[in-house]
Amino acid sequence: MAVQVPLWQHYLQAIRSRGARRAQDFQRAENVLLTVLEHVHRLDPRFLVDYSRDLEAFQFALRTSEEPLHVEVPLRVEADALLIEEVGAAEAGDGPAPCRLGVSREGARPERRMADDVLSVSSEGGAGCRGHIAPSKVLRVLKDLLVAAVVHCRHQSLVTPGSLNADSLEEKESHLSLLVSSGWRTIRFNIVPMVRRKLWVPALERAQWMRGFPEGSLKRIISQEAALVPASAQHWRVSTDYLLTRLLGALGSLPGHRLDGLSILDRVNHESWRDGGQSPGLTFGHLKTVLLWASALFPAPEDWAELQGAVYRLLVVLLCCLATGNLPHFVYPKRNLLSDAGLDLNALYQRVERFASQPEASLRIHVTHLGRGPPPRIGNGVKALLQLPAGDPAYWATAYFDVLLDKGPRVACPNVPPPPARTTPKPTSVPGLQHPR
């Protein structure tokens, strides 16, 4: 008799079988884009090509959602000639403060000086400043170069016919958007100019004390150069995308089902909570942040040893955030990632809780995949966990999670009603997203 694969594992296997194909599609599309960027570099050596993108391919393979992918284009700048001027001061933990990048009259060799086509001259820079590198001007120059490079690559047959169209190039405030075909899949890349600079970022320094990550991984990541990306037409900001993507890669080196749980929730989110991507909802970035917080809240390896338990650890953190209307940024926790998402959090909470209570409908890839076995209903212990009040910190202690998730129905759990329905999101603090003491 054939051994029946549990539904959770069956669902994961279906996702993994598509992951290899997605990685190949990404690689083909990225190769096309890199060919274009290489010609951009030949036209203007100030714009460099970043080939260290293995983690982006790895992250794309984890996803089901078809969100745009970010590609940074480093701008070559003489480090000694760069003046960083903060514009105002951001509250600690509230997000990176915007800054202006001034270019000194001294320090850079004549052949390496920044041309005036990307500089904005103002009287505020002082006598020692030639001007400030303006993101809007950098984007304009880069857009013209990309159009020329796309036309050249198509005419010289350097890319597959039909894979590129200069008409799809769109200019946004902080990036350029380009569609690239890799065969039957079309991938949108957000092309972001970036300036690398060694900076001391207090929020990144605090992040290295997070638990639940491979020893030394956070310290190694934050010791590298920071990436400054456009924040507005005149201002730059420190990008945390680089850090968070590498943190995700570090979690992948640990044993357990952290990334498997993320893949499952991303597919359920895309297919069920967002109606196949047709409705607004959570993004992969939201779910990635949930995983980072859950990894810090549950640092023990045994927390992630079992697939269903790993998914439910993500679900309880997600439900807590939806109930309180606050998903803190992992590096800047005072920044709420749900505040400007424009989502109906009450309706979304109901969908997520429905999946947590009866997951079998959403875990079905095909009608035959349920097999003859009983559906994977959850026990009373997990049900009680999903109904805990988000406003009471005592209920969100790691030890209490462990008892409920590990013991399940054998534990006498309090009969607590679910969080009350809200008509408007209320951004409050999230007691659950604190480091275990």
| Residue of 144, 285, 173 whose CA lies nearest to 237 | 173
The confidence score (pLDDT) of residue 291 equals 95
Cα angle vertex 356, ends 290, 336, to 5°? 30
The confidence score (pLDDT) of residue 103 equals 84
Residue 377 identity: R
| DSSP reduced 3-state for 193 | strand
pLDDT tens-digit readout, 29-84? 999 999 999 999 999 999 999 887 667 777 887 888 778 888 999 998 876 678 88
Please list the helix, strand and coil fractions of the chain in percent, rounded to the nearest 5, in that order: 45, 15, 40
Is the pTM for the entire model greater than 0.85? Answer: no
Structure tokens at 150: 């796309």
**Cα separation, 151 vs 165, whole angstroms:** 8
| Residue of 132, 154, 242 whose CA lies nearest to 192 | 242
Three state DSSP letters for 325-367: CCCECCCCCCCECCCCCCCCHHHHHHHHHHHHHCHHHCCCCCH
- For domain 254-370+379-391, is the CATH number 3.40.50.720? no
The conformation of residue 302, written as its DSSP 8-state character, comes to G
The overall longest dimension of the chain from CA atoms, in Å, is 83
- The structural domains of the chain, with segments of one domain joined by +, span 1-239, 254-370+379-391
Are 128 and 104 in contact by the 8 Å Cβ rule? The answer is: yes
Q: Which CATH architecture has domain 1-239?
A: 2-Layer Sandwich (3.30)
pLDDT tens-digit readout, 277-317? 788 889 999 999 999 999 988 888 998 999 988 999 999 99
Q: Does an H or E element contain 186, and which? A: strand 186-197
pLDDT tens-digit readout, 16-27? 887 777 878 888
